[in-house]
Chains A and B, each alone.
Chain A
Amino acid sequence: MRNRVREQRRQRGLSQAEVAAALGVSRQTVISIESGRYLPSLPLAFRIARFFDVPVDKMFDPDEEEAGPC
């Protein structure tokens, strides 16, 4: 799963700590989400999308390999 959290954060000139405080998570969690090591829950994904004012499906893109139907 690819995401645009880092890209959106940098566009707005925000630090990871500021984003973490706004979302109510730890800085380490923001780092993990940005690096793709952690997939946020659906509620947190929506909070992230709303915070950056980006549709959730634009913020999180499944990789082509993972997106195909079973």
Chain B
Amino acid sequence: MLKVIPPRLRKPALYTLAGLVFAAAWLIHGGRTWWFSIVVLVATAARVAAVYLRAGKDTDEGALAGSRADERLQFLNARARALAGIFAGTATFIALSVAVAAGRTWWPYAAILAVAGLGYLFGLSNYGVGEQDPAEEDADDAPSPVMS
């Protein structure tokens, strides 16, 4: 679906969608804090505008914001995301431990860790870890590349 959207608009579109969902959550929450949804919408608009403007620049950040990363940036982006995942996992584990020790609600943290673990396993499977290609049985009969 994202392929239909021009590259420069993909990140702004995602941020817009996320902002609308979060604003709707505050609106549904209601009560005295319903106006948080307005704050979220304003912050989202500012963020989307900033990302769109950054996407027009000839920099690494601009290429990432504009969804036109080449192989080097995709590699760096994947490493940065992996690091962010480690930070998020560590923080969630600490929060889980503190919640258990304090007798507070702990299952949301456990659920986040479980989803992250399943995501990791899905990633390993999706990217081909563990797939065994059949060994070439006639490898000994193959001519040596150094022989003419």
Residues of chain A touching chain B, judged by Cβ–Cβ distance below 8 Å, are 24-29, 32, 38, 40-41, 44
Bound CA–CA A44/B70 (angstroms): 10
Q: Does B131 sit at the interface, judged by CB under 8 A?
A: no
Closest to B63 in A: A26
Residues of chain B within 8 A of A29, CB atoms compared: 70-73
What are 5 inter-chain pairs, A to B, with CB distance below 8 A?
A: A26-B72, A28-B60, A38-B72, A40-B71, A44-B71
Most chain B C-beta atoms within 10 Å of own C-beta, residue among A25, A28, A38, A44? A28
Bound CA–CA A27/B72 (angstroms): 11
Bound CA–CA A24/B70 (angstroms): 8
Residues of chain B within 8 A of A27, CB atoms compared: 58
Residues of chain B touching chain A, judged by Cβ–Cβ distance below 8 Å, are 58-60, 63, 68, 70-73
Most chain A C-beta atoms within 10 Å of own C-beta, residue among B59, B60, B63, B72? B72
Bound CA–CA A29/B60 (angstroms): 9
Known: A24-B70, A25-B70. 19 other contacts (CB 8 A): A25-B71, A25-B72, A26-B58, A26-B63, A26-B70, A26-B72, A26-B73, A27-B58, A28-B59, A28-B60, A28-B63, A28-B72, A29-B72, A29-B73, A32-B72, A38-B72, A40-B72, A41-B71, A44-B71
Bound CA–CA A50/B11 (angstroms): 34
Bound CA–CA A37/B59 (angstroms): 17
Q: 5 closest Cβ contacts across the A-B interface?
A: A25-B70, A29-B72, A38-B72, A28-B60, A26-B70
